[in-house]
Amino acid sequence: MLSISEYQKERTRTANAVMSFEREDFGLLGPLHLNSIDWANSNHRRSIAASLVQGTYILERDRQEKRQGSQALAPPWWEFFHFKLIRQLVDDADSCVFGAIYEYAPPSSHCNDSIDRSPRYVIAFRGTINKPDSFSRDFSLDIHIIRNGLHQTSRFEIAMKAVRNMVAMVGDSSVWLAGHSLGAAMAMLAGKTIAKTGNFLEAFLFNPPFLSAPIERINYGNVKHGLRFASSFITAGLVLATKGNSQTSQSEDPFFILSAWTPCLFVNPTDHLCSEYIGYFEHRKKMEEIGYGAIERLATQNSLGDLFMSVVRRSAEAAEPLHLLPSAYLTVNLTPSEDFKQAHGIQQWWRPDLHLKCNLYKYK
């Protein structure tokens, strides 16, 4: 017989397994309301992209739990929307599944005018999974994001090779990128990298990390604006001090070249890991309006923390911070969240009852 402590542990393990199943089962959690897809509808596009990212999470969970065949929970997350899985992206360090390539294959009866807005392929990347089989490797990738070193990792090299091959095969207009959290960082870096070659992929970036002081969490508008205003002038000053006032033509300016790429960013204001994107773009707009656009154009291309480090190292060379973006279509979820876990979760983005605020920001 089991001891009391063993019995309690077994009950806890069973309860956790049931909760995990409920979070992963499409029939219980998925967007079943999307039984008719309109690819011209931005809510449908967002929900499907988020569901495909969820599919990559559950592909890895299926692997960890050794769920195969009819026991696998991942397939409904793409099959419901008439996608098929054509390739899993596997990390060479720990053999975990970190991404997936899906092909859209609708039945002929579903062909209509809105199908022109559909992708041909979607490359989706998951975020960190807090399970022993993958957490160590995922966490090391999170640290690389903090250090602006994601581009140096073998996981990103695998992802970037897959993106380049797909674009070379079918063209940039047929490929979507999607990712959540760590996966959003992977998709963003891949999108930025390939955009600099003139290929602009539609991208759906859910809760992408923006690592900086949490100014957006301050409730006093004047204080927030004052801090951002001071930060812009300090950043611009450090740029001039470390890099000089060298002029480059627009055709040579990487930030200007990148401005033609407009990824879709999805953030929650109560998620401190991504909420700074709200202030990043809104502050730039305000600086333009009050006549300090030239100062902000210098500041928005640089990270204050990285500039300080370059001064300490007496070097102007540093990796480009991932979060610096010229243009974006920013969607903010204003629906109240119970806690950080809900505010950061991928599940929020396919809910049909969201209160969203959407803005397009283009670099001038």
297-318 per-position pLDDT tens digit: 666 666 555 544 444 444 444 4
Phi/psi of residue 98, each to 5°? -115, -10
Q: Are strands 328-333 and 356-361 parallel, antiparallel or unpaired?
A: antiparallel
**Cβ atoms of 179 and 186 closer than 8 Å:** yes
CA 161 to chain centre: 18
Interatomic CA distance for residues 336 and 353, integer angstroms: 11
DSSP label at residue 256 = H
Pull the structure tokens for residue 232: 């812009």
Instruction: Write down the residue that tokens 């500041």 correspond to.
Output: 299
Other beta carbons within 10 angstroms of residue 105's beta carbon come to 11
Pull the structure tokens for residue 351: 């809910």
Reduced to 3 states (helix: H, G, I; strand: E, B; else coil), residue 95 is coil
Which tens digits make up the pLDDT trace of 194-243? 999 999 999 999 999 997 766 666 665 666 666 665 666 566 566 666 66
Interatomic CA distance for residues 258 and 328, integer angstroms: 11
In the sheet that 97-104 helps form, which strands lie side by side, from edge to edge? 83-90, 97-104, 121-125, 175-180, 202-206, 264-267, 328-333, 356-361
Residues in the chain: 364
**Each residue's pLDDT expressed in tens, for the chain with a length of 364 residues:** 545 555 444 544 443 444 556 789 999 999 999 989 999 999 999 999 999 999 999 999 999 999 999 999 999 999 999 999 999 999 999 999 999 999 999 987 665 555 578 999 999 999 999 998 899 999 999 999 988 899 999 999 999 999 999 999 999 999 999 999 999 999 999 999 999 999 999 999 999 999 776 666 666 566 666 666 566 656 656 666 666 555 555 555 677 889 899 999 999 999 999 999 998 898 777 767 666 556 666 666 665 555 444 444 444 444 677 888 999 999 999 999 999 999 999 999 999 999 999 999 988 7
**Cβ atoms of 218 and 224 closer than 8 Å:** yes
DSSP label at residue 149 = -
- Domain range list for the chain: 1-30
